Amino acid sequence: MPIGDITRDAVLKALHEHDELGREAFHAKYGYDLAKSHVLIHERREYDSAAIAGAAHQWSADPGAALSPHEYAKARDHAASQLIGAGFKVKVVKNPAWARDEIILACQLVMSNGWRGLEAHDPRVGDLSALLQLLPIHAEASRNDKFRNANGVARKTFDIATRHPEYTGKPTNGGALDVAVLHEFLARPAEMTQAADLIRQGLSSGSLQALPVADDEELDDYSAPEGRLLLRQHRVRERNPKLRQRKIDSVRAAGGQLCCEACGFDFEEVYGERGAGYIECHHVVPLHVAGERRTRLQDLALICANCHRVIHRKTPWSTPEELRIIVEQRRASGGR
């Protein structure tokens, strides 16, 4: 369940309960951890804003239930904007962790600098800091005034550089995602550089900021090493209804059947009238290649919803043809 609208009244109830129980008991009651990224300030006292919002949910939503610990962890950023909407003051104490897209841009800079970190006064660090502030991944309400400033960006370049396999000293901080992206750059430098260039171009032109956020983005983060923004672009392209119709028309005009290119599933055959004319499109050009170029009909493959999900599930994405071979082999061997 995503976090819903929170009323001012419900927040006041949660604050009251927090004061009665005390901070630790309040967090323990709902199973929320004590890490706080935002604080709600009320009558000169500070509260973990996500915990207050999570508890307030039970008095706001219909039917009311407090957020589960899992939902609470996912709702942190969003909780802040909800509380601000309900008229409360929220302060960001900790900026959000770096997303894959951001690390891709930083990694490209470190690579172009011979895998050495860069200092905060370096103009390239200033440029990257400005670019990261345009990135439409972290909500405004989750950022404080130090968000991706030159010092933070410079630190990140050292976190990446000191994780390089040839670096002999001790690594600075950095996390698992830094290491993962670094290794993707080392394994596929041309592709990852291309992806970084596309993200840069898209942010500078504003086209990536305009894309809608997919609801299952968190789940799919790791299925696109090129980052979330290029994946958003991919989805918008393959869901373009006009293009999809043109693709369907062209297949029909050529005498083809409207069925999945991978497994042969035909929606009309199975569901009759209700399934007639239904099929999804998958954009077969890899994220790091598609770029700003317009989608052509041959870039789209007709694919059933199941196969589409399976293709997107794991990188590198299999092609419809590769999936077709797998399906055929398994059918031939009786699924063993």
* Residues in contact with Zn ion by the rule CB under 5 A: 238, 260, 262-263, 265, 282, 304, 307
Q: Judged by CB, which is closer to Zn ion: 179, or 236?
A: 236
Q: Judged by CB, which is closer to Zn ion: 130, or 297?
A: 297
Q: How far is the CB of 263 from Zn ion (least distance, A)?
A: 3
How far is residue 101's CA from residue 181's CA, in Å, rounded to a whole number?
9
Q: Judged by CB, which is closer to Zn ion: 161, or 231?
A: 231
Question: Could you give the angle at the alpha carbon of 248 between the alpha carbons of 243 and 251, nearest 5°?
Answer: 125
Q: Judged by CB, which is closer to Zn ion: 140, or 218?
A: 218
Q: Judged by CB, which is closer to Zn ion: 189, or 222?
A: 222
Q: How far is the CB of 102 from Zn ion (least distance, A)?
A: 24
Helices 189-205/176-187 angle, 10° precision? 110
Q: Judged by CB, which is closer to Zn ion: 101, or 280?
A: 280
Q: How far is the CB of 282 from Zn ion (least distance, A)?
A: 4
User: To which residue do tokens 């750059």 refer?
Assistant: 185
How far is residue 11's CA from residue 69's CA, in Å, rounded to a whole number?
18
Q: List all residues 6 or more positions away from 80 whose beta carbon is below 8 Å from its beta carbon.
A: 38, 49, 50, 53, 90, 92, 139, 141, 142
Structure tokens, 336: 């063993």
Q: How far is the CB of 76 from Zn ion (least distance, A)?
A: 29
- H helices of the chain, in order, are 8-21, 23-30, 49-60, 69-74, 76-85, 100-112, 123-132, 150-161, 176-187, 189-205, 217-220, 228-238, 241-253, 267-271, 287-290, 305-313, 320-332
Q: How far is the CB of 235 from Zn ion (least distance, A)?
A: 7
Q: List all residues 6 or more positions away from 23 whose beta carbon is below 8 Å from its beta carbon.
A: 34, 47, 48
CA proximity to 264, closest of 253, 256, 272, 252? 256
Q: How far is the CB of 202 from Zn ion (least distance, A)?
A: 18
